[in-house]
């Protein structure tokens, strides 16, 4: 149970009361409602919730259920989420109201960010869902790509493409054949890890733009609006 004096917005604490009242009304038998509500009040009092807050929230929620007894009807609501910072987060309320969204508060510091299950690190080439960079061994040229499969599998495809004699060649094969340069296959960098395909594509485009001497095709970055170019150029000036 969330203690009333914890560093969470008041709306979170109210919604905990509401969620428990919902469970009592919708899941338990009517004969048990009174005893369950009494137990609920005791629990919240033990967690330092003010009595007026408990009674007013429970009372309003019970009234809601009396006038809205059709549980099958659900209205889809849109939410606009912002981190919870006192006297700052509330300023987003007019914006969310303007776009017919409910304002939701997220907590930046969570237990998950401090307490994590220990996992053995994967071998470098066993990582999946990554954006990677292959650098030329003889010049400053580089190639940025993304893959859902294991990085080792994707690199094997690049190497196999260089060796094949038929079919359309890749930009890596063209650089290898035209310049007689080799690539640092044992020093491939993982630039980003992202499970979402669309987010991974955006990350790939950004890193392609940040290359000093990239050999990627021009159409690899056509999806990026030109307005972002200046921001990416400023980022590319920092060492990568």
Domain ranges of the chain: 10-67, 79-106, 124-237
Place of tokens 């044992």: 186
For the chain, what is the mean pLDDT? 84
Q: Is the pTM of this model over 0.85?
A: no
The DSSP secondary-structure symbol of 240 reads -
**Highest-confidence range of 86-90, 122-126, 199-203, 215-219, by mean pLDDT?**
199-203
Does residue 113 have a pLDDT over 90?
Answer: no
Distances 108 to 5, 61, 192, 217, 240 between C-alpha atoms, Å? 17, 29, 22, 39, 28
- Backbone φ, ψ for residue 122 (5° rounding): -70, 155
Does residue 30 have a pLDDT over 80?
Answer: yes
- What is the pLDDT at residue 133? 95
pLDDT in tens, 70-81: 555 555 677 777
Does residue 240 have a pLDDT over 50?
Answer: no
Length of the chain: 240
């Amino acid at each position: 149970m969330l203690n009333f004096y914890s560093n969470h917005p008041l709306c979170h604490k109210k919604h905990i009361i509401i969620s428990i009242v919902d469970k009592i009304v919708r899941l338990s038998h009517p004969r048990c409602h009174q005893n369950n509500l009494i137990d609920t009040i005791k629990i919240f009092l033990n967690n330092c919730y003010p009595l007026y807050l408990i009674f007013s929230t429970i009372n309003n929620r019970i009234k809601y259920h009396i006038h809205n007894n059709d549980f099958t009807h659900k209205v889809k609501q849109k939410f606009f989420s912002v981190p919870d910072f006192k006297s700052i987060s509330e300023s987003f309320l007019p914006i969310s109201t303007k776009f017919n969204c409910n304002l939701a508060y997220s907590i930046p510091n969570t237990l998950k960010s401090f307490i994590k299950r220990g996992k053995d690190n994967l071998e470098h080439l066993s990582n999946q869902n990554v954006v990677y960079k292959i650098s030329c061994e003889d010049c400053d040229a580089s190639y940025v790509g993304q893959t859902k499969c294991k990085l080792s599998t994707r690199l094997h495809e690049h190497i196999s493409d260089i060796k094949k004699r038929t079919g359309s060649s890749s930009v890596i094969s063209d650089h290898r054949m035209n310049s007689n340069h080799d690539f640092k296959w044992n020093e491939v960098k993982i630039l980003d890890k992202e499970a979402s395909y669309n987010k991974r594509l955006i990350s790939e485009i950004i890193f392609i733009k940040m290359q000093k001497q990239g050999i990627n095709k021009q159409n690899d970055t056509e999806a990026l609006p030109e307005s972002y170019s200046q921001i990416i150029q400023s980022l590319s000036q920092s060492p990568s």
